[in-house]
A and B are shown apart, each in its own frame.
Chain A
Amino acid sequence: EPEVTQTPSHQVTQMGQEVILRCVPISNHLYFYWYRQILGQKVEFLVSFYNNEISEKSEIFDDQFSVERPDGSNFTLKIRSTKLEDSAMYFCASSERTGTFSNQPQHFGDGTRLSIL
């Protein structure tokens, strides 16, 4: 079964440094998402992306964050100047369609654990 892959599985970065988290969505999927889960807390939506544009973003997704689909396969999340509170698990997800008429769930990657020192 096709799956969403995320690299690296664990990223350790010094505070203030830039970090790029990478995701390869399922190949025929058109909608892409990033979610964040601070340790011990719930999974929170960050951003959705379709047709090379951000569809929706949460309050968490401020100017320090950006997303990009640099080629036909990768979907990246960049944090420009990391803060201690950015330490979390970051999940990428993709779906074939969206909206309430979609009958496909979002497929999640295994996550990247980001640790800011």
Chain B
Amino acid sequence: AQKVTQAQTEISVVEKEDVTLDCVYETRDTTYYLFWYKQPPSGELVFLIRRNSFDEQNEISGRYSWNFQKSTSSFNFTITASQVVDSAVYFCALYNQGGKLIFGQGTELSVKP
């Protein structure tokens, strides 16, 4: 079965704190892609990152970093020095061989000033 689990439903932090959003996935495919999307209050889905199953290098983009660990089937997302504008729902998603995205339940991040 293909499944994405984001166990944290809501997280609340104070501005400038670091925060990590967890994502655990299940798949029998040996080749797959993992994604993170941001959904701000306006509702659109904003693509953040794509990772393929053969590339376990961690990635950093500004204040964002991603930790992909195949051994634990996890693809966690860390925001360093969070800002109010980071407040949104964040979705982790698995892209399978059929070409469809399987989303997790989402984590609602609230960053307070």
Contacts and interface: CB of A to CB of B under 8 A. Distances in A.
Interface of A: 31, 33, 35, 41-45, 48, 55-56, 89, 91, 93, 95, 98-103, 105-111, 113
Contacts, number: 66
Nearest to B42: A110
B45 interface: yes
A110 B50 CA distance: 19
A105 B103 contact: no
Interface residues of B, number: 27
Contacts of A55: 98-99
A58 to B, nearest CB: 8
Interface string B86-102: 00000101011111111
Nearest to A43: B103
Contact of B45 (A31, A41, A108): A108
Interface of B: 29, 31-33, 35, 37, 42-45, 47, 50, 52, 91, 93, 95-106
A106 B101 contact: yes
Contacts of A89: 43
B105 A111 contact: no
Contact of A56 (B42, B45, B98, B104): B98
